[in-house]
Every structure is written in C-alpha cells, then in structure tokens.
C-alpha cells in the first residue's frame, strides 16, 4: 500500500513540473535585464529550470539578425535536446523576433509555448529609441541607412519596415520579409511548418509602449502605405496564412494580449506582467 501511495505521489509530482524556460533579451541590453523574469518564474513555479541567454549583449545585440538567430538557435537546440518533453520560450523586444526566427528555422527545437513580449513582429517604423546608437536619425530618412548593404549588417536594419519605401525594403532587407514569407525563399515551407508546431503562440503588446512603432506590430498589425494601422486579421500575412497565424488562431493556439499602461522598458521589469501574462501560459 505504501509503495502504491508513493508511486501516486511521484506521478502527481511529475505532473506539477513545468517545462524549462528559455529567455532572450532585447536590443542594447543583456541577460541581466531578464533576471527579474527568471527569478519570478522560479519563485512561483519552483524547480523550473530557466536558461537566460547571455549572447549578443549590449552593442553586439546590433549584429545581423540571422547571425544571432543561428548562434542563439544552436544554444536553444542544445537545450531542447536535453528536454525532449519540450521547452517554453520567451523573447522580449528584439529578442522576441530572434526567438521567432529560431522557432521557424530550427526543426529540431521543440517549443511548446512561445511568448513574444512587446516585439516588432511586423517591423519597426519609429526611431526615437535609436538616438543613442544613431544620433540624428529620424524615421523619414532612416531608410537611407537601413536599406543598404551596410545598414543590413545591423539588427534594426533587418526589421526596419518603412511603409513609404516598400520596394527598397523588399530589395535590401534580408530578414523580416523572409521569415514573414512576404518574399518567397527555399525556406518558405519550413518557416510555416515549424511555426505550426507550437502549442501556444502568445503576442503581448500595448498602446502605451512608446517604442515599438506602431505598437500593433507586436501583434502583427502594421501601417499601410498611408501610415494607417491595419490589424493583423486584415494583413496578407494572416489572410493568406503565410506563416500559419490563421491556422494557429483557428485551432485556439494564437493568443493576442493587449495590456495598457506599460512602457516598453517596463515589460520585463514589472512583476505583475510576469504574474498575470507570462506565468499563466507556461506549461
């Protein structure tokens, strides 16, 4: 009888264990900026293993997006191999766009839940936060830098999406139009197939972000040619189901979460955000 009870206890205990979590930081920051999230997850979900990415910190976070995806992605693949039951992935700001690139590129990475925390999933067209890196840069002329061979060596240039210069965007941008399947490539089918393997895809953003521009980009909404925001459901990426968003949505796997009152630099520093909008999605 005692043996049977012990066996039941072990079964229940194993069911209460949460999958490991991988965190990917934003641009011009590092793993230290994600420590609060890491500590809170471990506090509220004891014994959860958290891997906090420490690659491409600070200035090196401006390196080309594909370089970061492939390097960090290999780390995530190694972690995933240790946890065949699957992992949870959280990317903040630019880190969320890197994380999506990893999910779409690495078929051997088994991600259960992917949470994109205020990330420019449809691109960026606001330069206010870039003044420390590119003094004097304004959004109207930023394309002159970013839509060039030199500009494409920068991470921001890889997801700069100027609604007034779409031909240049399609000509020069080497990252965003490809992982969004806006431009067809040899990896088009893989990009969609791999994203559809997710159990949950959570898109978190809010109207008071003041950095991701438009803020709806965090939920795949974006500007049209007149700088009017078109919501995700009316975008070709969703309507034509280019990467699987529509299918994920139909199957209840796409979660769009809008949180007002949060500035971009507070998403990963706010305990309430972790408790109310991250923890409930971790399995």
- Contact between 280 and 17 under an 8 Å Cβ cutoff? The reply is no
Q: For the purposes of burial, counting CB atoms within 10 Å of the CB of 19, is it exposed (0-12), middle (13-18) or buried (19 or more)?
A: buried
Q: Which two tokens stand for residue 149?
A: 């061979």
Give the DSSP H/E element, type plus range, for residue 51. Answer: strand 50-52
Q: Which of 33, 80, 162, 264 is catalytic?
A: 264
Q: Which two tokens stand for residue 183?
A: 């431009």
Phi, psi of 66 (to 5 degrees): -65, -40
- Contact between 99 and 126 under an 8 Å Cβ cutoff? The reply is no
**CA of 71: how far to CAs of 68, 89, 102, 217, in Å?**
5, 16, 10, 25
Q: Which of 21, 32, 34 is nearest to 111 (CA)?
A: 21
* Cα gap 152→43, rounded to integer Å: 40
* Cα gap 100→128, rounded to integer Å: 24
Indicate if 209 belongs to the active site.
yes
Q: Which of 61, 93, 110, 217 is catalytic?
A: 93
Q: Which of 209, 217, 218, 268 is catalytic?
A: 209
Indicate if 264 belongs to the active site.
yes
Q: How many helices (DSSP H) and strands (DSSP E) are in the chain? A: 12, 8
* Cα gap 176→80, rounded to integer Å: 25
Residues with active-site annotation: 93, 209, 264
């Amino acid at each position: 009888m005692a043996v049977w009870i012990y066996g039941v206890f072990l079964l229940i205990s194993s069911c209460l264990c949460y999958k490991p979590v991988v965190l990917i930081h934003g641009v011009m920051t590092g793993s230290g900026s994600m420590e609060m999230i890491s500590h809170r997850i471990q506090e509220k979900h004891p014994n959860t293993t958290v891997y906090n990415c420490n690659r491409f910190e600070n200035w090196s976070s401006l390196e080309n997006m594909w370089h970061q995806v492939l390097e960090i992605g290999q780390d995530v693949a190694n972690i995933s191999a240790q946890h065949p039951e699957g992992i949870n992935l959280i990317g903040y700001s630019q880190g969320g766009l890197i994380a999506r690139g990893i999910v779409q590129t690495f078929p051997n990475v088994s991600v259960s839940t992917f949470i994109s925390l205020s990330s420019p999933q449809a691109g960026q067209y606001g330069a206010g936060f870039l003044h420390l890196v590119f003094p004097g840069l304004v959004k109207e002329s930023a394309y002159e830098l970013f839509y060039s061979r030199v500009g494409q060596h920068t991470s921001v240039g890889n997801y700069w999406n100027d609604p007034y210069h779409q031909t240049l965007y399609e000509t020069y941008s080497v990252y965003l139009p490809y992982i969004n399947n806006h431009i067809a490539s040899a990896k088009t089918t893989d990009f969609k197939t791999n994203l559809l393997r997710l159990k949950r895809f959570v898109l978190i953003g809010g109207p008071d972000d003041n950095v991701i521009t438009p803020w709806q980009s965090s939920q795949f909404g974006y500007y049209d040619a007149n700088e009017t925001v078109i919501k995700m459901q009316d975008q070709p990426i969703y309507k034509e189901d280019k990467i699987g968003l529509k299918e994920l949505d139909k199957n209840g796997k796409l979660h769009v979460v809008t949180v007002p009152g949060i500035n971009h630099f507070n998403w990963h520093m706010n305990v309430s955000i972790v408790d109310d909008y991250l923890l409930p999605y971790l399995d």
